[in-house]
Amino acid sequence: MKFFFTLLLSGSVAFGQQNDPNFLKGFEELMNGKPEKSLKTFQKVIKKDPKNAKALMFSGSIKSLLGNDSGALIDLNNSIAVDSSIGETYHYRSLIKYAFNDYKGAIEDVSLAIKLDTENTGYFYNRAKFNYEIKNYKGTIEDGQAILKLDQTSSNPYILFYMAQAYAELNEFMPALNLANEFILFDKSVSGYILRGDIHYKMGNYAIAADDYEIYIADNDPNLNRGEAYMKRGTTYLKLRMTEKACDSFYSAKEFGIDIDQNLMKECD
């Protein structure tokens, strides 16, 4: 799995004192969209100074960007062995552990990054996501609240998405709905309507849920998962005893490759 390290590419990583001119050259190559060249340049730095923790961190990050997560993990481990005070390194390693489905290890690493930088909203966001994966919904909400305290508008609105899902999983539907509505206002896509539709469905508001699924389906974005939305809308129509509309939705879902449970389709045959 490839990761695009926005913190690294934004230039927010503190270089410290770097005497090797290849270090800055490698960073400039990365900023100019030449990761392969950048990796070779950073490896020159490492060959000259095997204990350059920042160069090892960049090398590992770029290897992951290029799809070599195993090699990236080695470099990041070596970087931490040299200098355990760099939060970015733990953060990048947490992303690789997440890619390897090591959620516990990912949470441990990003928590160490947070201890080293308590105001980095990107770290809190990833821990919120990792916590959601292991069904620690309260942890997701707490990390989301930390982000909103640091950044009231939230530069990454998807934390609202995760928080809304977490509240819904805890059957706390009103805060879930409020956050879903906020997400719809912040986000430019229609993915929030699927989220809000799911919350309304859990609340038994089937007609409202069907309307939200319809808004998602009607959008002209070609990258949307319409098959899933049709399936959800069909299930909702069944709850409303609108069998014909339910069957139409199920057949549309099947056209998108969605397997529909035969128990749902029995009234359509």
CA angle 145, 118, 105 (to 5 degrees): 85
| HSE-CB for 147 with a 13 A CA cutoff | 26
Residue 10 lies in a domain: yes
> Is the Cβ–Cβ distance between 61 and 8 less than 8 Å?
yes
pTM: 0.85
Instruction: Determine, yes or no, domain membership for 225.
Output: no
Q: Is residue 207 part of a domain?
A: no
pLDDT digits (tens, 9 = 90+) for 43-99: 999 999 999 999 999 999 999 999 999 999 999 999 999 999 999 999 999 999 999
Q: Does residue 35 fall inside a structural domain? A: yes
Flag whether 258 is in a domain.
no
Helix ranges restricted to H, 101-225: 103-116, 121-133, 137-150, 158-169, 173-186, 191-203, 206-218
Number of domains in the chain: 1
Count other Cβ atoms within 10 Å, centred on residue 86. Answer: 23
Instruction: Give the helix, strand, coil percentages of the chain, each rounded to 5.
Output: 70, 0, 30
CATH number of the domain that residue 23 is part of: 1.25.40.10
Residue 173 has what pLDDT?
97
| Per-residue confidence (pLDDT) for residue 262, from 0 to 100 | 86
pLDDT tens per residue across span 134-169: 999 999 999 999 999 998 665 678 899 999 999 999
Assess if residue 203 is contained within a domain. Answer: no
Residue 98 sits in which domain range? Answer: 1-117
In a domain, 15, yes or no: yes
Angle between helices 226-239 and 206-218 (to 10 degrees): 160
